[in-house]
Amino acid sequence: MDLFDFLLQIYIICSAVCVILYLPRLSCWAWARRKQPRIFSEKQHTLALLIPARNESTAIGALLDSIGRQTYPREAFDAHVIVADANDPTIAMATAAGARVHVVPNQTCKGDALDACMKTILTETPRRYDAYIIVDADCVLDEKFCEEMNNAMASGAEIICAKKKVKNYFFGDRRSQPISACCNGIIWTLIDNMGNRAKAAHGDTCFTVGTGLMLRADVVRMNGGWPYRATVTEDMELMHDIVLKNWKTFYYEHAFLYMEEASSHKVTNKRRRRWMTGVIDSKRLYAPKISADANASRRYRQIYHTRNLWIAYLLVGLSVLFGIGNAITALLLRTFHSPFWIDAARNAAIGFGAIYLMFFVMTAVALIADWENIRLPLWRKLFLLFVHPIFYMEYIPIVGIALFTRYGRQWDAIERVNFAESEIKK
């Protein structure tokens, strides 16, 4: 056995160990196409919609329109729009739609906006609401969203996650959507259909996303507002705190909203960099707290589902190092006319090919799992099947930058796609 065969065997063994460790997460994929039973709440709860809307006047109109078309009784929910500037055009739009506006200057993260709004409500009317629902300004609510979120409260969970659909798949000429938007939209299928659906069924901690997210009022009162402001991903901080506090989470696919994907690859990468830095920062922040808490550290399944992403990072990182190391070796050996460059090149191809294959399989499962909601022509879905793995491979440098630098931790404004809610094709 030569050196390159030995290195290949070591790589295969290490990769197999990572896959075995990741199997509990992979098992969630088996639930991806299972329909979730409907549940119904006998009580009509009073809900507060919290909408962080810093500089979102070009996007929020569609959301406000969808709020006005809710089937849930209007007297049972209020909309609270949070802006940073007293001169923001959003104020007039929100006021005309019957929402209350909160001006919160000097916001450094989304958590600042949520915390100020929640504290104002708790000070003025601490018992008015039974639950708080966070919705991003660029979203559009299904007309039964509030009604179904109310039903989801019958689960008894403190934290409830709605299903996310991609607005870009549903409006206008879907053939002209940027491929980056089509690719990035797959992530919500990975989180919801291929993750949260199974976690909800087994009582595991769901992956919380900071829109379409409901917190029961007793959680907000216990927290005294929104304390998750140490990173740019407040939802990831919440997910780890759920393990510490032993709160129950629930995902409900019958309550859904439409999310907007970025208008260009450049903006998509800005969002991905910010998200990944926050994910990594929140894991670093909470891992010592969870390890030090004896009660939390005994909840192995919950901890696993907040940390299994590191297994994926390890497997991909191992493949990258194996591929790059062998590629460089192949070039050097080829330069010196050594016949062993072919073996090194073979190993490099296996390393990079393994990454593509992993993401290809994941993409195929995602397309099957959410076929009816990925509303693209068949040829674009097939194109997506082969391109999305490459798009996902772009996370490799993004994760590397997040792990080893301080870049990407600013809460920058994101350019929006401007269109009316009425253009959505259901």
The arithmetic mean of pLDDT across residues 278-290, rounded, is 91
Residue 400 falls inside a structural domain = no
Strand ranges inside 217-372, DSSP E: 249-259
The more confident residue out of 46 and 404 is 46
Residue 134's DSSP bridge partners are 50, 213
Residue 77 falls inside a structural domain = yes
| 207 and 356 assigned to the same domain | no
Please say whether the beta carbons of 281 and 230 come within 8 A.
Answer: yes
For residue 7, what are its two tokens? 């290195």
| 228 and 314 assigned to the same domain | no
What percent of the chain stands above pLDDT 90?
75
The CATH number that applies at residue 284 is: 3.90.550.10
Q: Inform me whether the pLDDT recorded for 330 exceeds 90.
A: yes
Please say whether the beta carbons of 142 and 256 come within 8 A.
Answer: yes
At 86-105, the pLDDT tens digits run 999 999 999 999 999 999 99
How many Cβ atoms from other residues are within 10 Å of residue 19's Cβ?
Answer: 13
Please say whether the beta carbons of 110 and 129 come within 8 A.
Answer: no
Residue reference for tokens 């979730």: 36
| 132 and 234 assigned to the same domain | yes
At 115-140, the pLDDT tens digits run 999 999 999 999 999 999 999 999 99
For 304-344, give the DSSP string: HHHHTHHHHHHHHHHHHHHHHHHHHHHHHHHHTT-TTHHHH
| 319 and 266 assigned to the same domain | no
Number of structural domains found in the chain = 2
Residue reference for tokens 């909840």: 299
Residue 303 falls inside a structural domain = no
For residue 43, what are its two tokens? 């009580």
At 53-71, the pLDDT tens digits run 998 988 899 999 999 999 9
Q: What sign has the CA pseudo-torsion 266, 270, 276, 280? A: positive
| 276 and 169 assigned to the same domain | yes
Residue 401 falls inside a structural domain = no
Residue 198 falls inside a structural domain = yes
Residue 73 falls inside a structural domain = yes
Please say whether the beta carbons of 174 and 380 come within 8 A.
Answer: yes
| 275 and 362 assigned to the same domain | no
| Confidence bin at 23 (pLDDT 50/70/90) | very high
pTM of the entire structure? Answer: 0.92
Residue 331 falls inside a structural domain = yes
Residue reference for tokens 């609510």: 141
> Residue 331's domain spans which residues?
3-26+308-393
| 275 and 317 assigned to the same domain | no
| 255 and 112 assigned to the same domain | yes
- Of how many residues is the chain composed? 426
Q: Inform me whether the pLDDT recorded for 200 exceeds 90.
A: yes
The arithmetic mean of pLDDT across residues 273-282, rounded, is 90
What DSSP element (H or E) covers 103? strand 100-103
What average pLDDT does the chain have? 92
| 143 and 176 assigned to the same domain | yes
| 184 and 316 assigned to the same domain | no
| 89 and 181 assigned to the same domain | yes
pLDDT of residue 172: 60
At 207-255, the pLDDT tens digits run 999 999 999 999 999 999 999 999 989 999 999 999 999 999 999 999 9
| 40 and 20 assigned to the same domain | no
Residue 62 falls inside a structural domain = yes
Question: What does the DSSP 8-state code read for residue 407?
Answer: T
Which of 133-142, 174-183, 352-361, 415-424 bottoms out in mean pLDDT, i.e. has the lowest? 415-424
pLDDT of residue 177: 73
